[in-house]
Structure 1
Amino acid sequence: MSQQSTPKPRGLLSLETLAQQVQAGVIDTVVAAFPDHYGRLLGKRFDAEYFLQEVSDHGTHGCDYLLTTDMEMNPVPGYRFASWELGYGDFHLVPDLSTLRQASWLEKSALVLCDLEREHQGLVTVAPRSLLKEQVRRSAELGYQVLAASELEYYLFTTSFREAQAQGYRGLAPAGWYIEDYHLLQGSRVEEYTGAVRRHLKHSGIPVENSKGEWGLGQHEINVRYAEVLEMADRHVLYKQCMKEIADQMGLSVTFMAKFANGQAGSSSHLHLSLWREGQSAFAGTGAEGSEVFGWFLAGWIAHAEEFMPFYAPTVNSYKRYEDGSWAPTRLAWSLDNRTAGFRVVGRGQSLRIECRIPGADCNPYLAFTAALASGLDGIRRKLEPPPAFRGDIYAAQHLPRVPYTLGEACERFAQSPFVREVLGSEVQEHYAHFFHSEWQAYIRAVSDWERQRYFERI
């Protein structure tokens, strides 16, 4: 990862260009979207002419319950932000016009991401995009620009989403039938889908680097070009949305679960991050291990990883990915180009960067990057020294601290952390602690197929 001047990605639109395309009949719909706590895109579809006349300047409204729901869109009680008692009012969706782009996978459509605001109160502090923008602001106060990338893995099935749901997500047909890591023959069999994704992303303002097979049956990865950290988080949620919608159009299905099935590799979202100042990497040093700033940032990121685990691993399923010998990290240590480490340092000189391998494909990138920056910047402020680089098989290093075993354990550490309270504020900490705890409680109350198969007759 090195900073170079790159042309504006193809597919990004100015309001003037959008107006021209609307006039020519090329675009007739604009999707206004924002990420929720799960990282899903929610929003509205507007007639393009109405968007230009009203929404581009004045925004639109959405119900504030959307930041208090569970996965099924049920409003969850217990939030201070919004509740039945408060009447579930509105927040304001303010288009970030720098994100306006053609959504080429949707017919005659453009898309813009929005920030959430309360009238006369500024940004909604608990909104994921607001959290990351605050950490970007704090980075800038210290004189740093943040460059980032996220690698997103997924499983592809020839079963459609509708059929998968009807089958209870059992007996799905994977798109591949043997391990296909870097395997070009298997990759060519799904190129109709993967190629379509690459082309649509490119034409929608999201430059693509490559696609490749991964270790699981039907598992693949698409990597998009790195960018400033907020833009990278935007790219992440957009290319995830694009992939789901193209799969749906083709009668396929794709999952970003961290651990889809026993015995199969988990799906990760490795985060790459570096700090820059005046066009030069602040991480670059004379040796392979980088500058003092690099060491301080790395030390802070590692030191606070346990407290911020729900921001990297937000679901019950996330923690089933952390198995020794599975390519997923289980220990909080760093190493030079070692894929068994939670923190893998790669590149040299201007390309030196930290790859955090802890997040799964189910992470919300805004929250994951928020945690990374808050932790790393604390390391810089306090000039923390990282532990020595580990060499060897970290899975075998039982003395090293381990990532939490469950979402419940991670929730408790997050909720009780003075550091999380300091960097996010008590309101945000309480809000997200309740969100993750509600997810954990829903799991605790559920009766699973595993329990019925194990206990129905034989207990």
Structure 2
Amino acid sequence: MKYTKDEIAGLIESHPSNHIKVAVTDIDGVLRGKLISKKIFLKALHSGTGFCNVIFGWDVNDNVYEDSKVTGWHTGFPDSKVTIDPGTFRAIPWENDTPFFLADFNQSKELSGVCPRSLLKKVEKECHSMGYRPFFSSEYEWYNFSETPQSLSEKGGVNPTPFTPGMFGYSMLRASQQNDYFNALAEELSLFHVPVEGIHTETGDGVYEACIEYTTVLEAADRSVLFKNGVKEIASRFDIMPSFMAKWNNHLPGSGGHIHQSLWDEDGSKNLFYDEERKEKYSELMEHYIAGQLHCLPYILPLYAPTVNSYKRFVSGSWASTSVSWAVDNRTTALRVIASGPEAARLETRVPGADANPYLAIAAALASGLYGIKNRLTLNTPQTEGNEYSRDTSEQLPATLKDATEKMKASDLPAELFGKAFTEHFIYTREWEWKQFSQAVTDWELKRYFEII
């Protein structure tokens, strides 16, 4: 249910909690927030509140960027104003129903152009201006470990212990053996207004997959961010540590963060991706949308695969896409068309990993699909028949974050889709990420070279 600011004020004034949680999302999709008093919240609800803009001046490990133009030591890291979105109101069931809200930097002159949530709102607005109503959902795979932050730190941050052993995809047994945790995820997330349509074990040691219910595009991204953070908070109660990194072990499948999407008419009554009269049942509009995603994919890949580790997931035979490809109901391709009926017809973008920032991955999918519609792109890429991994004629995805970022930087397309300010800042942060990796001495190097060289 969506509330006005006045309705929210009334609810908060009568709420037994004296404090409220407010959070924003940084460029990496990490939820950053704080607890504020009821008095401060009620004032901030109408006038906004400040967050130190270092949120966009450091990386995922809080290391300050050296040469970021957006903010840095040269700006003194001032507070930037955020707008609390009353429509995101939730009560946190595992924290005595503490009220919770999301915010974004749409009031901040210096940060509005790089704020991921603000970017998605901009793409959504464009979609509505074209006469379409976008509906999206996400599904996530993630691994669970019998660790706490303290126990993993004592191991030096490596060799986590999976909380169940063995390759048990769709296992009723493994789910039953961890039923308290398994059921808590399904029930408590739904109470948190992150409705989980289904949850099951995947193939791999201690890995789960969950599908989040379809909804409007911004709400879908909000749910995705809150799902990932919520899973971690619920898991900690059971001394379990989840990980959404794309590929934690090279012997096991990676973790996907697939995006399901469709465009409907303005009042949301007709799915425009479905056409009963056509043989394959997917519409001409959907063809343009697919063509747009395929055309843009090589130039915006870092939005789907933002970390060094992301690219370890793109392995043949691993359930992850490796090429610019599409097909009907085929899980070896980048794009999977599902045209099973007027309600369910949709596109599944299988490229993103679970490590992607949901706002950016969803914005990338929608913006590139709309690009295909605006330019009436023809779907020239042949549909894959059978195993895409065995084809040697498809364009392959860039193999590293460095390659993908360089390809993004060399193209004018990302700035056309997302704006110059965001594109330049995002590219800089991915170059920074690769630089940090390049300077690190890894366990692999020590094992390979320490004695023998």
Percent of aligned pairs with the same amino acid: 35
User: Which residue number in structure 1 is paired with residue 199 of structure 2?
Assistant: 211
Q: What is the SS of the residue equivalent to 2:299? A: coil
Residue 83 of structure 1 is aligned with which of 72, 75, 82? 72
User: What is the one-letter code of the residue matched to 1:173?
Assistant: T
* From 98, 105, 112, the counterpart of 1:116: 105
CA deviation vs aligned residue, 1:278-317 (integer Å, no higher than 9, x gap): 4211111123251111000000001110101000000000
**DSSP 3-state at the match of 1:349:** coil
- Measure the CA separation in 1 of the matches of 2:297 and 2:157: 32
- Corresponding residue of 2:448: 454
Q: Could you tell me which runs of 5 or more consecutive residues in structure 2 were left unpaired when the two chains were aligned.
A: none
Among candidates 32, 41, 55, match of residue 51 of structure 1? 41
C-alpha separation in 2, matches of 1:19 and 1:427: 38
The 3 A distance-change label for structure 1 pair 109 and 15 is: farther
Q: CA deviation at 1:75?
A: 1.4
Q: Distance in 1 between matches of 2:192 and 2:387?
A: 41
Q: Measure, in 2, the Cα distance between the counterparts of 1:242 and 1:313.
A: 22
Q: CA offsets per residue over residues 300-335 of structure 1, 9 Å max, x none? A: 001110101000000000000011011111111101
* CA positional deviation for 1:29: 2.3
| Aligned partner of 1:321 among 313, 316, 336 | 313
Give the Cα separation in 1 of the matches to 2:34 and 2:435.
31
Is the alpha carbon distance of 1:89 and 1:199 closer, same or farther for their aligned partners in structure 2, counting shifts above 3 Å? same
Partners of 1:290 and 1:349 within 8 A in 2: no
| Mapping for residues 132-211 of structure 1, pairs under 5 Å | 132-211=120-199
**What secondary structure sits across from 1:117 in the alignment?**
coil
Distance 2:287 2:415 in 1: 24
Does residue 245 of structure 1 match 2:233? yes
Contact between 1:41 and 1:237, CA under 8 Å: does it hold in 2? Answer: yes
- Aligned residue for 2:250, secondary structure, equals coil
- Tell me how far apart the structure 1 counterparts of residues 440 and 281 of structure 2 sit (CA, whole Å): 47
Equivalent positions of 1:339-350 (< 5 A) are: 339-350=331-342
Q: What does residue 23 of structure 1 align with?
A: 14
**Deviations 1:252-294 (Å, cap 9, x if unpaired)?**
1110010011201100001101111142111111232511110
Aligned to 1:299: 291
Helix, strand or coil at the partner of 2:28:
coil
Residues 57-456 of structure 1 mapped to structure 2, 5 A cutoff: 57-118=46-107, 121=109, 124-278=112-266, 279-285=269-275, 286-287=277-278, 288-350=280-342, 351-386=344-379, 387-456=381-450
CA shift for structure 1 position 194: 2.1
Distance 1:157 1:147 in 2: 33
Distance across 2 between alignment mates of 1:14 and 1:372: 31
Distance in 2, Cα, partners of 1:19 & 1:180:
48
Spell out, residue by residue over 1:102-160, the C-alpha distance to the aligned partner (whole angstroms, 9 max, x if none). 111223411100011345x4971111011111110110110011100110111011222
CA distance in 2, matches of 1:178, 1:133: 42
The residue identity in structure 1 corresponding to 2:241 is S
Aligned 8 A contact 1:68 1:79 in 2: yes
Assess if the C-alpha contact under 8 Å between 1:300 and 1:378 holds in 2.
yes
Contact 1:333 1:389 survives alignment (8 Å): yes
Return the letter of the residue paired with 2:323.
R
Q: Deviations over 1:71-116 (max 9, x none)?
A: 2212102121112222222211110000011111223411100011
The answer to whether the 8 A contact 2:8-2:86 is kept is no
CA distance in 2, matches of 1:394, 1:423: 28
The alpha-carbon distance between structure 1 residues 182 and 18, as it changes in their structure 2 partners (threshold 3 A), is farther
- In structure 2, the CA distance between the partners of 1:22 and 1:298, relative to structure 1 (3 Å rule), is same
String of CA shifts for 1:342-378, please: whole Å, max 9, x gaps. 1111132322111011100000011111111121111
State the TM-score, normalizing by the size of structure 2: 0.95
TM-score normalised by length of structure 1: 0.93
Tell me, in whole angstroms, the C-alpha distance in 2 between the residues paired with 1:17 and 1:137.
24
Q: Which runs of 5+ in 1 are unaligned?
A: 1-7
- Which of residues 34, 50, 60 in structure 1 aligns to 2:24? 34
Return the offset for 1:202: 1.3
Residue range with higher mean Cα deviation, 436-445 or 378-387: 378-387
- How far apart are the structure 2 equivalents of 1:448 and 1:24? 50
Cα RMSD between the aligned structures? 1.8
- Letter in structure 2 aligned against 1:98: G
State the distance in 2 between where 1:94 and 1:170 align.
39
Q: Secondary structure at the match of 2:274?
A: coil
Alignment partners' CA distance in 2, 1:165 and 1:268: 26
**Contact 1:123–1:130 under 8 Å retained in 2:** no
Q: Which amino acid aligns with 2:378?
A: E
